[in-house]
Amino acid sequence: MVMQNQLVMSLLLNNMEKHVAEIFSYSESSQDSWKSVDMYGNQDNYARVFQLKKDIASIQQEGKTFLQHIGNLKTMWNELDVYLPHTTDPSILFKSAEEDKIYQLPRSLSSEYEDLRRHILMSMELPSFQNVCAIVQREEARRRVMNQKSSHKISYARGREEEEEEEHVGEEEEDERVETIISTFN
C-alpha cells in the first residue's frame, strides 16, 4: 500500500509545474494531495468552462467546410464535457448535451443556411444531432454540386423584372427542398 501511495504521489507531482508541485510535495498521502489539487483545480476550471461556453456561443463557420467547422465544435464540446459536473442519471445528461449541440450548431452556420436553420428549429419534433449533421452535409454537397450561390446574379441587360422573377422561383424551390429534407426526419 505504501508503494502504491508513493507511485501515485510521484505521478501527481511529476505532472505538475514545479512551483505547483512544491505546494503539494509535503502532503501525507496521495489521497490528500488529490483532494487539494481537485479543490484548487476547480477554481481554474470555472474560468475555462466560462471561456469554452463563450467560444462555443460565438463560433461561426466563416469559410470552413462543414467537417472542419463541426470538428472545431466537437473539440470544444469534448473539453467542456471534462469540466462539467456529472450526474447519476446518464439519460438526462445525454439529452441535455445533445439538445445544447442541436441548438448551437445551426446558430453557428453561415448565413447562407438561414432557411435550413429555420426549418430545423421549427420542426414539430427536434431532430437528433446526427440527423441535423446529415441534413447540413447533404445541403452543403448539393450546393457544391450545383455550384449555386446564396444569391442569384443576373446581368442588368435582362432587366430587374426577370431578376425578381428568378429570385422568387429560386426561393420557392429552396423552400420545397428544405421542407422535403426536414419531412424525412419527422
> How confident is the model over 4-49, as pLDDT tens digits?
767 877 777 777 667 666 766 777 777 776 666 655 554 456 667 7
**Digit-coded pLDDT (tens) for 105-120:** 888 888 889 898 888 8
Neighbouring CB atoms inside 10 A of 41's CB total 11
Q: How confident is the model at residue 155 (pLDDT cuts 50, 70, 90)?
A: very low
Return the C-alpha cell found at 134: 446529415
What's the pTM value of the predicted model, to 2 decimals? 0.43
pLDDT at 150 (0 to 100)? 47
Measured CA distances, 139 to 28, 61, 102, 121, 178 (Å): 60, 15, 17, 16, 9
Question: How many Å apart are CA 24 and CA 37, to the nearest integer?
Answer: 8
Q: Hey, where are the domains in the chain?
A: 1-30, 46-183
Identify the pLDDT of residue 154: 44
Query: pLDDT tens, 44-84?
Result: 566 677 788 889 989 999 999 999 999 999 999 988 887 77
User: Could you give the CA distance from residue 82 to residue 42 in angstroms, rounded to a whole number?
Assistant: 12
